C-alpha cells in the first residue's frame, strides 16, 4: 500500500501523504496509478516511435521466443506443450480413453 501511495504522490497533486490519504479511497488510488502508468507508457511509446522502435513489437517478439522455447522443451521431453505447461504448474494430464 505504501508503495502505491508513494508512486501516486510523485505525481505532485498533493501537499503531503495525509492529504492524499484523506481524499482518496483505495480504488481511486489504483485508478490514478493505472492512468499514470498508461500515460507514461504512451509517452515512451511515442518517443520510441520517433526513433523507429515499436515497443509493442518487442513485446510480441518476446512472447514468440517464449512459445518457441516451450515447444523446444516439450519436444525434448517427448510431450505436448500443453502437457509441459500443466506439469510446470504441478498438474498431470491423463490421456483420453478411446471408445
pLDDT (tens, 9 = 90+) of the chain, 99 residues, equals 777 777 777 777 778 888 878 878 888 888 888 888 899 888 988 888 888 888 777 555 556 677 788 888 888 888 887 787 777 777 765 666 766
Share of the chain above pLDDT 70, in %: 84
81-89 and 55-77 helices, crossing angle to 10°: 90
In angstroms, the CA 54 to CA 49 distance is 6
Q: How many CB atoms lie under 10 A from the CB of residue 8?
A: 20
81, 71 contact by CB (below 8 A): yes
pTM of the model: 0.47
Amino acid at each position: 500500500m505504501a508503495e502505491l501511495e508513494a508512486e501516486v504522490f510523485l505525481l505532485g497533486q498533493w501537499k503531503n501523504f495525509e492529504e492524499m490519504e484523506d481524499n482518496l479511497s483505495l480504488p481511486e488510488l489504483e485508478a490514478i496509478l493505472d492512468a499514470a502508468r498508461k500515460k507514461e507508457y504512451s509517452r515512451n511509446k511515442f518517443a520510441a516511435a520517433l526513433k523507429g522502435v515499436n515497443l509493442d513489437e518487442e513485446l510480441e517478439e518476446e512472447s514468440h521466443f517464449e512459445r518457441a522455447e516451450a515447444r523446444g522443451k516439450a519436444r525434448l521431453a517427448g510431450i505436448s506443450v500443453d502437457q509441459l505447461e500443466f506439469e510446470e504448474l504441478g498438474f498431470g494430464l491423463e490421456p483420453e480413453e478411446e471408445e
